[in-house]
């Protein structure tokens, strides 16, 4: 029997890794570039497995899947997938939670440093013929400033270590993290309100859910210091973009370093493009040659595991175990 695995959409130049992994599991890989629910249903209705990047896997799509056993998403977040619908239908959903921990933490800190030292602004001015450090005034010393982490999962914990090495004091808001974890990381847990009031830099790392969409909005910006910068390498909709633009235009905060926006690619008429204290990157924080290869291999392996009768290493909807009984694989040590 040959399994059919459909890739709903992808940004990679090569799919050789996925082909190799799935071929060993007796699966044929079908590549598509879907943008709408209708296109996904047409391409994947009879698929045994689905690999997904950004195409919508809504309840409507999932209810029209006839053979699907597993959906594997490229990445950590699974906001493109209706988890409840998948679980009800007995479809396993997987992600990859650990493929770019250093990359995203490094990128967040790079944006923080660029905001703090205003290196982008200075570079632009020098290239425009203006050799004058005063265009960057004011710049404040980094040591003893406060970094506030919104969310304290694997990536922000990685970032905390890097920031502490530069002398930053770190606080975090995460209602799901125990005080013991915070103590071991030498950080202090606070409320979101306290974080907004105390932090000189705020780095957003929460998962995007219905309850976290617009987590940072007018109320939070009103509490922030005028010298504060906000960094986002997680998901654009975690920050209310209208509120962010207003805060920047009215000087409520000093600036922003954004790797993600509410709509991607960013609209050409988005005011963020014209605001001087904003650094924008094209959702690149996850990327390195090593992390891309790791992501592709682990995503494909999630599919292969399920098709071969095993739970995947990265199972998102644990409740599906109530209706789907598979074997447990021996723990695999992945090379990073």
Same domain, 57 and 120: no
Same domain, 108 and 251: yes
Total number of domains constituting the chain: 2
Residue 128 lies in a domain: yes
Q: Is 193 a catalytic residue?
A: no
Same domain, 124 and 268: yes
pLDDT one digit per residue (tens) for the chain, 336 residues: 899 999 999 999 999 999 999 999 999 999 999 999 999 999 999 999 999 999 999 999 999 999 999 999 999 999 999 999 999 999 999 999 999 999 999 999 999 999 999 999 999 999 999 999 999 999 999 999 999 999 999 999 999 999 999 999 999 999 999 999 999 999 999 999 999 999 999 999 999 999 999 999 999 999 999 999 999 999 999 999 999 999 999 999 999 999 999 999 999 999 999 999 999 999 999 999 999 999 999 999 999 999 999 999 999 999 999 999 999 987 544 433
CB 171 within 8 A of CB 146: yes
pLDDT of residue 166: 98
Task: Tell me which of 73, 235, 262, 297 is the catalytic residue.
Answer: 235
Burial (CB count <10 Å: 0-12, 13-18, 19+), residue 8: buried
The CATH number of whichever domain residue 233 belongs to comes to 3.40.50.720
Same domain, 192 and 257: yes
Residue 330 lies in a domain: no
Q: Is 143 a catalytic residue?
A: no
Same domain, 121 and 255: yes
Residue 335 lies in a domain: no
Using CA atoms, how far apart are residues 155 and 173, in angstroms rounded to an integer?
14
pLDDT of residue 139: 98
Same domain, 19 and 57: yes
pLDDT of residue 1: 80
Show the domain range for 142: 101-280
Same domain, 250 and 268: yes
Q: pTM, whole model, 2 decimals?
A: 0.91
Q: Is 60 a catalytic residue?
A: no
Same domain, 15 and 93: yes
Same domain, 105 and 122: yes
Residue 263 lies in a domain: yes
Same domain, 106 and 193: yes
pLDDT of residue 309: 97
Task: Tell me which of 45, 88, 283, 290 is the catalytic residue.
Answer: 283
pLDDT of residue 331: 58
Residue 138 lies in a domain: yes
114 phi and psi, to 5 degrees?
A: -65, -40
Same domain, 27 and 41: yes
Same domain, 86 and 208: no
Residue 257 lies in a domain: yes
pLDDT of residue 328: 93
Residue 336 lies in a domain: no
Residue 331 lies in a domain: no
């Amino acid at each position: 029997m040959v399994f059919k695995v459909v890739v709903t959409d992808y940004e990679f130049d090569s799919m050789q890794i996925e082909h190799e992994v799935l071929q060993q599991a007796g699966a044929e890989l079908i590549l598509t570039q879907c943008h709408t629910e209708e296109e996904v249903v047409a391409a994947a209705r009879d698929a045994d497995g689905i690999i997904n990047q950004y195409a919508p896997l809504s309840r409507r799509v999932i209810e029209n899947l006839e053979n699907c056993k597993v959906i594997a998403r490229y990445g950590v977040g699974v906001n493109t997938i209706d988890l409840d619908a998948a679980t009800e239908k007995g479809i396993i959903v997987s992600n990859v939670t650990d493929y770019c921990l250093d990359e995203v933490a490094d990128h967040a800190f790079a944006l923080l440093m660029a905001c703090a030292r205003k290196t982008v602004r200075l570079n632009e001015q020098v290239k425009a013929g203006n050799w004058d450090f005063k265009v960057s005034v004011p710049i404040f010393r980094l040591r003893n400033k406060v970094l506030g982490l919104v969310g304290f999962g694997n990536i922000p914990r990685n970032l905390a270590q890097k920031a502490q090495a530069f002398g930053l004091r770190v606080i975090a808001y995460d209602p799901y993290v125990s005080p013991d974890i915070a103590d071991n990381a030498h950080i202090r847990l606070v409320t979101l309100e306290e974080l907004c009031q105390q932090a000189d830099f705020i780095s957003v790392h929460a998962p995007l859910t219905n309850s976290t969409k617009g987590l940072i909005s007018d109320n939070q910006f009103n509490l922030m210091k005028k010298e504060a910068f906000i960094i986002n390498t997680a998901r654009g909709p975690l920050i209310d973009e209208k509120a962010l633009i207003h805060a920047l235009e009215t000087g409520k905060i000093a600036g922003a370093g954004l790797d993600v926006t509410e709509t991607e690619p960013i609209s050409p008429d988005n005011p963020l493009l014209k605001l001087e204290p904003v650094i924008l990157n094209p959702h690149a924080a996850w990327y390195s040659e090593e992390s891309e290869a790791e992501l592709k291999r682990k995503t494909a392996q999630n599919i292969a595991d399920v098709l071969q009768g095993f739970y995947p290493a990265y199972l998102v909807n644990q409740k599906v175990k109530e209706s789907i009984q598979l074997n447990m694989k021996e723990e695999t040590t992945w090379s990073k």
